[in-house]
A and B are shown apart, each in its own frame.
Chain A
């Protein structure tokens, strides 16, 4: 059975480790089984050259280590999407695809409540002549819904071993483990079923009769819940409520937790100031490290809560309902309901949102949604928005019955969403002709109580992506920026010559920053940003924010704190343009703030997003395109905003 030697890229290059692959349709319980078998020893990644997730792990069976791979869910070995193509490639014993090793044995997951459909997939898999063991899931649901199945008779009729895994039982996996330890004993069908559609249907009918299969009743619980959640009026109301809860989470629910994080970093800052004797090191730690990273981690509670909410909704099966409700609205953009779910995830952070596009079977849809997702207002923009809106209106200001600040924030979210849809529509149209349009279909699985383990795993995946961004990119950028803002160091003589009072710390700091490398860069790009009303300080803020948006606030904070350590906020609002035709004007006046806000709606300022785009689309072409078009769009829209606001303010 072994003896195939393939290229690398998998967990076990060592020959001799038996490979099992889990195959089955989506929603058949594969992920749950995979997690149960491999525990935390699973490695995730991509299949080479394509944007399909690869899940591989190890487990011990009978004192031996074996590799278990969770192949993407598929309805058929006649592939319609990249995911399904992967399954075909991996199972292709004749052609060994690079990096996709042919498994030694297949664990075919069949949902016992949908056997009539899923046996069709088994019929195709039996043609591969790989050893197969059928794993029946949801047998408890089958019994609960008054279905019936004789697994021994099923095994005899199919010609392959059949084991059941019952959720929640202590020895749920024992039968499966037993089977996995003795692959050589697995029987195979004496004659594989014929491949014609009519013959397969007849074969399925014959097998189900022999196995005494009684179709389960309609899942009453799901029907009852759907009667509400998919009701034209009630369902839409519940959906609106869910969206509202989403946004409440962002602002209200996470607030106390954010307070704790802020307190922690404040305490840390004081500790550093008190304990670290070396002046520049103390400044470095408190400004660059704690200020930069801390300013971002303040938003971690909020992001985590959003991830939990998303994972929970996904786990219950509600996301399919949300996609169903939104499909009609997504259609004008050439997208489908599941794209809405991906865009919704982007409200937390575009990175898991982009990864959620994998649920879209159409490669064109995936690309269009990936290109639009960064425009959705993500949590990273919030520190910037809050800072700028605070400078535009103070918290008491009202426009009609609404808080002015709230209104602007709402408008920013709305703009982000609409822009995302528009961009996605444009890209969908641009790629027309590259692939045929896929028919839309979406399975509506029965509602389930999500298992804590699965929710936790989903949240951990999303959170780790975010944390990786924080610790690597943001930290690196704030450090680099701090260095550039504080070099070249000036000595006292130089400063006195320039007329600076060396005993005034604030004046010294301001001088250093004013003549730093960063300032030089900021002034150098002035021609680009001048029409928008930015000056060199905003410029370096923007340049640094290209790495990660949150850095903008840290950068401006450093610049402002240098001038006025006690009240940086005040310093910001007092800043004036230093030179050029506009000299003397308040820097952060309404047109400039408007331009800045709009710039942040549209510009792609997140290297992590660029990296994920690269990984998901498989080339640099698309992230570079995204970066360029978004920069141009941001500039134009910012200029427009500035002009409009200047006219009506």
Chain B
């Protein structure tokens, strides 16, 4: 394969979910949402149940393995299949799942450096999906009533989320200690 054709990707662990791997891929190849079907070998892996679910982020593809299977065994073939499939983006069938994608991404961000930052200040953050499109982040602990926290944490979180999902938007700024976000231009169905 000539280098130009080989998609650049690498796997990252998902904290707390050993059956999941977040594959970091070049951004924007495939629209974000839940994977219904995929071309080639990856599609077959979906069909025979090796891969049970897939979720596409702006620059990553989440894949879940069937219970009992390990990434140690299945990792290589899945990586090759994913690479192959991404070369044919038009043959993917993705159903929009803004809420689910955003929830996953937010949970991931909260599990990473941002979450460590919050926790180091004695605070806590929890994520919750509201309706189909809106994700709520609740600040708790020491951060709940801190006005500074409200502003700085909001800004930081939005920035980090935007790195992962460029079309993230804040919905409602009024509630102290609570951040509501959604993806894209769709008006939320519930406030």
Contact = CB atoms under 8 A, between A and B. Distances in A.
B142 interface: no
B79 A191 contact: yes
B67 interface: no
Interface stretch (A192-200, A410-418, A457-465): A192-200
Given A190-B21, A194-B79, A157 B6 contact: no
B116 to A, nearest CB: 10
Contacts of B146: none
Interface string B57-83: 000000000000001100110111001
Given A159-B13, A198-B1, A210-B24, A191 B75 contact: yes
Contacts of B8: 202-203, 205-206, 209
Nearest to A205: B8
For A196, A202, A210, which residue has the most chain B Cβ atoms within 10 angstroms?
A202
A543 interface: no
B11 A191 contact: yes
A643 interface: no
Given A152-B113, A190-B12, A191-B75, A198 B24 contact: no
B153 interface: no
A201 B71 contact: no
Interface in B1-40: 1-3, 5-13, 21, 24-26
Interface in A159-211: 159, 187, 189-194, 196, 198-199, 201-203, 205-207, 209-210
A388 B76 CA distance: 74
B6 A201 contact: yes
A206 B10 contact: yes
Contacts of A157: 10, 12, 24
B13 A190 contact: yes
Contact of B9 (A159, A190, A192, A203): A203
Nearest to B2: A198
Nearest to B10: A206
- Secondary structure at the A interface, as helix, strand, loop or mixed, is helix
A199 B7 CA distance: 8
A210 B3 CA distance: 19
Contact of A199 (B2, B6, B12, B112): B6
A96 interface: no
Contact of A191 (B6, B25, B71, B112): B71
Given A159-B12, A206-B24, A207-B10, A191 B2 contact: no
A253 B9 CA distance: 60
A156 interface: yes
B11 A159 contact: yes
B10 A198 contact: no
B25 to A, nearest CB: 8
A206 B113 CA distance: 20
B102 to A, nearest CB: 20
B12 A202 contact: no
Given A152-B113, A156-B12, A210-B24, A190 B75 contact: yes
A193 B80 CA distance: 10
B3 to A, nearest CB: 5
B13 A187 contact: yes
A172 to B, nearest CB: 24
B76 A194 contact: yes
Contacts of A206: 8-10, 24-26
Contacts of B83: 199, 202
B1 to A, nearest CB: 5
Contacts of B76: 191, 194
Contacts of B72: 191
Contacts of B9: 202-203, 206
Contacts of A207: 10
A156 B111 CA distance: 12
A190 B71 contact: yes
Interface in A198-247: 198-199, 201-203, 205-207, 209-210
For B2, B3, B112, which residue has the most chain A Cβ atoms within 10 angstroms?
B3
Contacts of A199: 6, 83
A152 B2 CA distance: 31
Contacts of A210: 10, 12, 24
B27 to A, nearest CB: 10
A202 B1 CA distance: 11
A203 B112 CA distance: 22
Contacts of A205: 8
A190 B79 contact: no
B84 to A, nearest CB: 12
Given A198-B5, A202-B8, A207-B10, 10 more contacts: A157-B10, A187-B13, A190-B21, A191-B72, A191-B79, A201-B3, A202-B6, A202-B9, A203-B9, A205-B8
Interface of A: 152, 156-157, 159, 187, 189-194, 196, 198-199, 201-203, 205-207, 209-210
